[in-house]
Amino acid sequence: MFMRYISRLYSAMAGPRPVVLSGPSGAGKSTLLKKLMKEYDSVFGFSVSHTTRNPRPGEENGKDYHYVTREVMQARIDNGEFIENAVFSGNMYGTSKAAVQDVQAKNLICILDIDMQGVRNIKRTDLSPIYISIQPPSMAVLEKRLRDRKTESEESLQKRLHAAKVDMEFSKEPGMFDVIIINEDLEDAYGKLKETLIEEINKVKKVGMSS
Ligand code: ADP
Ligand code: 5GP
């Protein structure tokens, strides 16, 4: 209890609390976080993960992900450069220490978009983020969104749907998430996300105004 208090205190001194957005692929995490970063561009910074998957049309290296080969990723993991890493739908993903430090050095709220293995692993660190799960209203809606996004092969889509079933159960584990947001109507879900983060947003704004 005391140690947790001290750890929180240190985190508070180090700057604003990071935010973890998790939830099934296709639930709407990127859509919501892009909206948030557009409205509050001087408040949030995105933790740019590394991945071995190919870029989708419109995605930029260094902005959406650092796209690397398996060899490079494994070498960096072995070199201790990652806070957490996981294999999702056959590809490697990971959060480097530098990705989080780059954002925190600017005193911004660091947002991590990571899968449930990442959530479990981050819980073993002293990052102490706010954990938010973005969930679709149903599997049927999720499947439609993933199909309409037209980014996945049938094989990748099936893997993602399978992972989504596990994720939906995982999100119900007591204490796993601070908030679960069902993304049915986008504006409603965005409103809930803002409501969850408004305290942290105001803290960063206040610091920004006084410096
Ligand atoms: P994730 O980042 O969780 O994989 P995306 O943000 O890419 O999910 O969203 C998946 C697809 O669903 C995208 O094509 C997006 O435009 C769409 N989408 C997101 N939220 C909604 C919503 N509330 N209603 C309808 N479509 C949505
Ligand atoms: P996508 O390929 O759709 O961009 O991402 C697939 C899944 O990987 C999503 O659930 C996303 O949250 C997760 N993901 C993205 N980056 C990371 C990361 O650095 N670590 C972990 N554990 N998961 C990640």
pLDDT, one tens digit per residue, over 31-41 is 999 999 999 98
| Cβ count near 156 (within 10 Å) | 16
Mean pLDDT of 12-34: 91
Is 152 strand, coil or helix? Answer: coil
Residue 136 inside a domain? The answer is yes
The number of domains in the chain is: 1
Model confidence pLDDT, tens digit, residues 150-191? 999 999 999 999 999 999 999 999 999 999 999 999 999 999
Whole-number pLDDT of residue 1: 55
pTM: 0.93
Expressed in angstroms and rounded, the spacing between residue 21 Cα and the centre of ligand 2 is 10
Close Cβ partners of 165 (under 8 Å, ≥ 6 residues apart) = 139
Q: Which of 1-15, 16-30, 118-132 has the lowest mean pLDDT?
A: 1-15
Task: Return the residue whose CA atom lies nearest to atom 20 of ligand 1.
Answer: 28
- Strands (DSSP E) along 68-195, which ranges? 82-88, 91-96, 109-113, 130-135, 179-182
How are strands ordered across the β-sheet holding 65-67? 65-67, 49-51, 91-96, 82-88
Distance of CA 106 to the CA centre of its chain: 18
Model confidence pLDDT, tens digit, residues 98-129? 999 999 999 999 999 999 999 999 999 999 99
- The question of whether 70 is a catalytic residue gets the answer no
The pLDDT of residue 11 is above 60: no
Residue 95 inside a domain? The answer is no
Closest CA to 203 of 113, 126, 107, 127: 107
For ligand 1, whether the C-beta of 27 sits within 6 Å is: yes
Query: What band does 3 get if pLDDT is binned at 50, 70 and 90?
Result: low
- The question of whether 160 is a catalytic residue gets the answer yes
Query: What band does 65 get if pLDDT is binned at 50, 70 and 90?
Result: very high
Expressed in angstroms and rounded, the spacing between residue 32 Cα and the centre of ligand 2 is 15
Residue 211 inside a domain? The answer is no
**In the chain, % of residues over pLDDT 90:** 88
| Cβ count near 6 (within 10 Å) | 10
Residue 100 inside a domain? The answer is no
Q: What gap in Å lies between CA 57 and CA 61, rounded to an integer?
A: 11
Mean pLDDT of 38-47: 95
Residue 200 inside a domain? The answer is yes
Q: What six digits make up the tokens of 108?
A: 């911004």
Residue 61 inside a domain? The answer is no
Q: Give the structural domain span for 165.
A: 2-47+109-204
Whole-number pLDDT of residue 211: 63
- CATH number of the structural domain spanning residue 164: 3.40.50.300
Residue 91 inside a domain? The answer is no
Residue 120 inside a domain? The answer is yes
- The question of whether 17 is a catalytic residue gets the answer no
The pLDDT of residue 25 is above 70: yes
Q: What is the mean pLDDT of the chain?
A: 93
CB-CB contact of 156 with 54 (8 Å): no
Whole-number pLDDT of residue 208: 72
Query: What band does 45 get if pLDDT is binned at 50, 70 and 90?
Result: very high
**In the chain, % of residues over pLDDT 70:** 93
Residue 25 alpha carbon, nearest atom of ligand 1: 4
Task: Return the residue whose CA atom lies nearest to atom 12 of ligand 1.
Answer: 145
